[in-house]
Amino acid sequence: MPPAGASFFRRRVQGNLLKVKSQEPALAAREVSKSFDGREALGGVDFEVGPGEVVALIGPNGAGKTTLLSILAGISKPDSGQVEGHGVAWVPQQAALYRRLTVRENLLLFARLQHDAGLTSEAPQTMVERMLGLTGLSARADDPVGTLSGGNQQRVNIAIGLMAGPSVLLLDEPSVGLDPAQRERLWSFVLGLVGDGTSVTFSTHDIGEAERYAERIVVLAEGERVFNGTADELRSEVEAGGATGDLESSFLAFLRERGH
Ligand SMILES: Nc1ncnc2c1ncn2[C@@H]1O[C@H](COP(=O)(O)OP(=O)(O)OP(=O)(O)O)[C@@H](O)[C@H]1O
Ligand SMILES: [Mg+2]
């Protein structure tokens, strides 16, 4: 488990930025649009994430974050536009776990499904032991999932997403409902994966979390990408408007100035 201090993340960010510049995106959406019942949820959005990069997707309720993530994951089809990239895993907000089955039984169930679907050649039992090690949950292997903390349940949820060895992990509001300590542990687990070159894109309503753990922030509002850059760049966008201090204030001022 890597140390979770800010300096660790910053060093990792610098390393990743250097790496990203010279490489093709791991996953990209070009001019992606999607409407539901005639109402536009996404209106021609561009998005990309580089190999090993961590990107946060923020924006008001209904902005289109989940819609974009599900299109990137390939589980929802855009009306127009393209998605390029492969090896993508989608971790939905609601963990699809069987609460009365143990951690090991849940992992075994999904390992078998993925194995039988030809998504991995790894033997299910071997996969289960590897995922128990990765999540740090070996000691809880025989406990019903429903007895675990929210943070530990989310680890099991993410471990299932990792079974097919994805190169991009898409997480929809992964830390909702977690206390700060659980949240920090979850992120040190997720960012430990980035060390292997896995890209991470996550949505969140916690602006501090976006700044702390992502090297780049994308803001969606009413189906449009209205910002793409670093937290400091987002701050400087609104400096003229008098926003200082925390990123959440800058974010709110940024949206207000643009009529959202
Ligand atoms: N399956 C669906 N059927 C109809 N409308 C949908 C569907 N999924 C999303 N929408 C609509 O598309 C828009 C974007 O929704 P989406 O869930 O992507 O937003 P979000 O940014 O994830 O919001 P939140 O922060 O609340 O999770 C909303 O207006 C929503 O009502
Ligand atoms: Mg959503």
- Average confidence (pLDDT) over 144-173: 92
Residue span of the structural domain in which 135 resides: 99-165
Ligand 1 interacting residues, C-beta cut-off 6 A = 36-37, 41, 59, 61-67
Model pLDDT, residue 45? 98
229 in a domain, yes or no?
A: yes
For the cut 90, the answer to whether the pLDDT of residue 220 exceeds it is yes
Ligand 2: centre distance to CA 223 (Å): 12
For the cut 70, the answer to whether the pLDDT of residue 193 exceeds it is yes
- Average confidence (pLDDT) over 99-115: 96
Model pLDDT, residue 241? 53
Ligand 1: centre distance to CA 203 (Å): 13
For the cut 90, the answer to whether the pLDDT of residue 134 exceeds it is no
* Residues 259 and 136 reside in one and the same domain: no
Nearest CA among 63, 50, 60, 86 for reference residue 201: 50
* Residues 64 and 121 reside in one and the same domain: no
Question: Where residue 17 sits, what CATH number does that domain have?
Answer: 3.40.50.300
Q: Domain tally for the chain?
A: 2
Ligand 1: centre distance to CA 12 (Å): 33
CB–CB of 104/129 below 8 Å?
no
- Closest atom, ligand 1, to C-alpha of 64: 18
Ligand 1: centre distance to CA 240 (Å): 32
- Closest atom, ligand 1, to C-alpha of 93: 27
User: Whole-prediction pTM value?
Assistant: 0.87
By alpha-carbon position, which residue is closest to atom 31 of ligand 1? 62
Angle at 47 between CA 45 and CA 51, to 5 degrees: 170
* Residues 260 and 136 reside in one and the same domain: no
Tell me if residue 43 falls in helix, strand or coil.
Answer: strand
* Residues 196 and 145 reside in one and the same domain: no
By alpha-carbon position, which residue is closest to atom 9 of ligand 1? 67
Model pLDDT, residue 20? 47
| Better-predicted residue by pLDDT, 83 or 165 | 83
Model pLDDT, residue 244? 62
- Average confidence (pLDDT) over 150-160: 90
Averaged pLDDT of the chain: 88
Look at the chain and count its residues.
260
* Residues 160 and 206 reside in one and the same domain: no
* Residues 195 and 208 reside in one and the same domain: yes
